[in-house]
Structure 1
Amino acid sequence: MPSESMDPRRRPSVAVRELRTDDWEAWSALRLSDSERLAPWDATPPPGGGETMNSFPVFVRRQTRRARLGEAMPLVVEVDGAFAGQIAVDPIIWGSTRSAQVGYWIGGSWQGSGIMRLSVAMVLDHLLGPVGLHRVEINVRPENVRSLALCRGLGLREEGLRRGYMHINGAWADHVSFAALAEEVHGPGGVGFQRRLTRR
């Protein structure tokens, strides 16, 4: 996805690209420095399922393989060339559904800057346009005030509470569900998500 500029006074370069194995060092440094802040929002394997967290290289190889199959898009947010966060489009479902779910996190140095809002807008436009999906969801913990504000600020439709939707930080957690449809963005009267930001 192309780089975008967010603030005409400062003009940081914001880009979204695929996750690579050589991102390990930057990813590790950022996650380590922000571990306490990010831990309450991290997905975790529920007990009894036999699943374990993969090492970074194994995770990247698995996600790259799934990306080639059209099942996922593991993405990196870069700001002025620096690794700033991630966006995960996972899973992508084709057939009669043509849908995906999107999750994201950003390093504390960029939190509150609008960079993740712009990055998510870029990804949504890409998914509901060139990729050809019909529906995209973002599910957010009710306690995650910043992420709720991001979804509402983009004008995503709020669809209600999903009880015990995902295992987060060691426990099943409720999530508020947001969604967008391709025709809401590209149909008559529709406005793409990046254009919504420039209208403000």
Structure 2
Amino acid sequence: MYPDAGRGSVAGTDEPGHPGWPARLGPVRTRAGVVALRPLWLRDGPAWRRIRLDDRDYLEQWEPSTPGSWKQRHTLTSWWAQWWSLRSLARRGQCLPFAITVDGAFGGQLTIGNVVRSALCSAWVGYWVASGHASGGVATAALGLAVDHAFASAGLHRLEATVRPENAASLRVLTKAGFRQEGLLLRYLHVAGAWRDHYCYAITTEDVGTGVVAGMVAAGLVERV
């Protein structure tokens, strides 16, 4: 998956926000460590840049094509621009941009984006985690926390995610979080040099019962802290 991707958080905890924002979610314990979600901080830049540069081969194959080289797109200036853009959207109630932390350290991002209210009451979700946390349950835990929050505190009814059919790891994450496959989007996004097909996955409030995280706890995927 991909992101639409402190002090200077998207909105400090005493700053007025929209439904479900700002927020801190979790923590829960996974095989990789204790996972939580918090607003992005401006000072996350150095950690973001280091992880993204180190994990180019791991991440670039799944992310939409954008102008410039990978190195050019991962300067601290690029981070400041991304942080400011996400901060502005969050303050307008159009997205919920989170840092994923593992044992308190920045380990990835999760964004609930394109929030639409009224009759649709929907958004998309995208995420990435550092390769060092792969197969440790971090993305699964982060997604579970985000879905529960989106449906409860943020008041949404539906979340969508798109993923390439070849991305087996992300397909497993979505399945564990209760998302269902709804169709195949042909030549949906330009990724890694070509227009790539993507599956569309979705989940609605009717699907989650007592909560996604509660289901993960019952399945032994995470533990509450």
Common topology (TM > 0.5): yes
Rounded Cα–Cα distance in structure 1 between residues aligned with 2:185 and 2:124: 14
Q: CA deviation at 1:11?
A: 8.3
2:123 is the alignment partner of 1:104? no
Match among 196, 210, 215 for residue 191 of structure 1: 210
Partner of 1:71: 94
The residue number in structure 1 matching 2:70 is none
Which residue, 159, 162, 172 being the options, matches 1:139? 162
Letter in 1 for 2:62: W
Please give the per-residue CA displacement for 1:131-172, whole angstroms capped at 9, x wherever unaligned: 000100111110000000111122212112111222223332
TM-score normalised by length of structure 2 = 0.78
| AA matched with 1:76 | A
Q: Please say if 1:3 is aligned against 2:22.
A: no
Q: Aligned with 1:92: secondary structure?
A: strand
Determine if contact 1:142/1:174 at 8 Å carries over to the other structure.
yes
Letter in 2 for 1:5: V
Give the aligned partner of residue 109 of structure 2.
Answer: 86
Amino acid across the alignment from 1:196: G
| Identical positions, percent | 34
Gaps of 5+ in 2: 1-23, 68-72, 220-225
Give the CA deviation at 1:118: 0.5
8 Å Cα contact 1:89-1:100 kept in structure 2: yes
Instruction: Return structure 1 stretches of 4+ with deviation > 4 angstroms.
Output: none
* Mapped pair 1:17 → 2:56: no
Maintained 8 Å contact 1:184/1:191: no
Shift of 1:78: 0.4
- 2:56 is the counterpart of 1:40: no
Query: Is residue 55 of structure 1 aligned with residue 69 of structure 2?
Result: no
Q: Distance in 2 between matches of 1:198 and 1:155?
A: 13
| Corresponding residue of 1:50 | none
Q: What TM-score does the superposition give when structure 1 sets the normalisation length?
A: 0.88
Gaps of 5+ in 1: 47-52
Alpha-carbon distance, 1:102 to partner: 0.5
Instruction: Give me the whole-angstrom Cα distance separating, in 2, the residues matched to 1:95 and 1:171.
Output: 36
How far apart are the structure 2 equivalents of 1:197 and 1:111? Answer: 18
Cα distance, 1:45–1:29 mapped onto 2, change above 3 Å: closer
Which amino acid in 1 is paired with 2:212?
F
What CA RMSD, in Å, does the superposition of the two structures yield over aligned residues? 1.9
